[in-house]
C-alpha cells in the first residue's frame, strides 16, 4: 500500500511511519517545510506535483496553542483549525478520485481525549479535535459506498518528548496513578491502533473514534 502521512516527524507520527514501513508499505510523510498545512492552498499544489494515487491517509499533524478564551488570537485559532481539521478535508478531496476508482481506501485522523472532553486554555485545540471526529463520521457515511473506511484514534497520555517537556516528574506520576493500566501509552501503542484501522486488517470498522488511553476515560481520571 501507499500511505500519505502528515506529522510523520513527531514521536507518534514516526512510530506510525515505522510500523507501516516494517510491514512493507510505502510511506510519504512530507515535513512542514515541504507541505505547510496551515496554507490550505499549498495542499492542492503538493498533490499536483506528487500524485494522488494513495491507498491510505493518516492525518497526524497537530497544532496546540495554549491560551485562555479572552487571549486566543483569531490567527492562532484559525491556524489550529487549518492544521488539525481543514487540512484533512482538503487532502481527502485530493485523493478521493483515486479511492473511488479503486473502490477502496482508508482514512485515519489522530484526534485526542480533547475530542471527547476538554480543559481550560484549549479552546482552539478542543474545537478542532471535536470537529475532526465529526468530520470523519460524516466521511464514513458519505464514502462508505466506495468501501472507504474512515475513523479517528484518540490517544490518551503518550510518553513523548513534548509530554515530558510540559510536565514535571510529580505531575507525570500523578497522571499515571489515574491510568488503570498504570503506565503512559507509548507512541507504538497509538501506531498499532492506527495501522489496524488503516490497513486491510480492518474490514468493517468505520465512523468510530477509538480511544487509546489505558482505561483513563473509563474512570481512572476520577
Catalytic residue set: 125
Among residues 159, 166, 151, 157, which one has the least CA distance to residue 198? 151
Strands 56-59 vs 105-110: parallel, antiparallel or unpaired: parallel
Report the alpha-carbon distance of residue 70 to residue 47 in Å, rounded: 38
Paired with 154 in beta bridges are 211
Enumerate the β-bridge partners of residue 28. 4
In angstroms, the CA 47 to CA 1 distance is 17
Q: Could you give the dihedral angle defined by the CA atoms of residues 168, 173, 178 and 182, in that order, rounded to the nearest 10 degrees? A: 140
Q: How many CB atoms lie within 10 A of CB 97?
A: 11
Strands (E), the chain: 2-6, 26-28, 56-59, 105-110, 148-155, 209-212
In this structure, are residues 216 and 180 in contact, taking their beta carbons and an 8 Å threshold? yes
Amino acid at each position: 500500500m501507499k500511505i500519505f502521512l502528515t506529522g510523520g516527524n513527531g514521536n507518534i507520527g514516526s512510530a506510525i511511519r515505522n510500523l507501516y514501513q516494517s510491514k512493507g508499505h510505502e510511506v510519504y510523510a512530507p515535513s512542514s517545510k515541504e507541505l505547510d498545512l496551515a496554507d490550505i492552498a499549498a495542499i492542492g499544489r503538493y498533490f499536483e506535483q506528487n500524485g494522488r494515487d494513495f491507498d491510505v491517509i493518516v492525518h497526524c499533524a497537530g497544532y496546540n496553542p495554549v491560551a485562555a478564551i479572552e487571549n486566543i488570537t483569531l490567527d492562532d485559532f484559525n491556524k489550529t483549525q487549518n492544521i488539525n481539521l481543514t487540512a484533512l478535508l482538503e487532502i481527502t478531496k485530493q485523493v478521493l478520485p483515486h479511492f473511488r476508482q479503486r473502490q477502496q481506501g482508508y482514512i485515519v485522523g489522530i484526534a485526542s481525549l480533547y475530542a471527547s472532553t476538554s480543559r481550560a486554555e484549549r479552546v482552539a485545540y478542543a474545537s478542532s479535535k471535536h470537529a475532526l471526529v465529526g468530520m470523519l463520521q460524516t466521511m464514513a457515511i458519505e464514502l462508505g459506498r466506495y468501501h472507504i473506511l474512515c475513523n479517528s484514534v484518540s490517544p490518551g497520555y503518550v510518553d513523548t518528548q513534548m509530554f515530558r517537556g510540559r510536565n514535571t516528574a510529580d505531575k507525570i506520576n500523578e497522571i499515571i496513578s489515574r491510568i488503570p493500566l498504570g503506565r503512559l501509552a507509548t507512541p507504538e501503542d497509538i501506531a498499532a491502533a492506527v495501522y489496524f484501522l488503516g490497513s486491510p486488517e480492518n474490514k468493517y470498522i468505520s465512523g468510530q473514534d477509538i480511544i487509546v488511553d489505558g482505561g483513563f476515560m473509563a474512570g481512572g481520571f476520577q
